[in-house]
Amino acid sequence: MASDLYAHLRTAGSSPAPLVFAFHGTGGDEHQLLDIAGQVLPGAPVVAPRGDVLEHGAARFFRRTGEGVYDMADLAARTRKMAQFVAAEAGGSRPLVGIGYSNGANILAAVLFAEPALFDAAVLMHPLIPFEPQLAGSLAGRQVLITAGRRDPICPPGLTRRLAEALIAGGAKVELEWHDGGHELRPAELTAAHRFLAPLASGIAAKGDR
């Protein structure tokens, strides 16, 4: 079954909310972003897969041959695999939200371009897409928040802006949230993500009250 493609955890959630898929960074696991998901979308059910590529013992979602140098064939194959997993786990009619940090943001961005109809909204925290992504369809109606550090040594601001431009060109509504630090997550990013996703959660709650 496609839902068995990754070791993962799933929380039930406690309120009408989108279904959140949480993608950890290099060296993390399925627990890394649970608290963050709970902060940005309180009460939402969460599906968190664990990356199945090991780099010196650190879990990732695809292979690379150096910092910012991706194995593109492997990335394409694992993007398809992740899209299959998400579709299998999605189930019902809830909107889907993806939240990813670093390597997790990269696999989420790759899925957005490969399967643009899959997610309704995405939060990409410190993504690095060092190539020109090819969009397989339209991102019209999709919402994307990118958070980044102006002094990030791993994800240069120029590449962050180029990713935003590619998403906008594909039809997505994109917001950028910057902080003055590097690759670390800061509270302002989580505040921005909560603000960004609140209208989506409020819309579901309003429908449930009818």
Residues forming the active site: 102, 152, 183
Please tell me the distance from the alpha carbon of residue 162 to that of residue 142, in angstroms, as a whole number: 18
Residue 31 near residue 65, CB atoms below 8 Å = no
DSSP string, 127-179: ----S----SS--TT-EEEEEEETT-SSS-HHHHHHHHHHHHHTT-EEEEEEE
- Three-state DSSP class for 101? strand
Residue 45 in tokens:
């059910």
Backbone angles phi, psi at 182, to 5 degrees: -110, -125
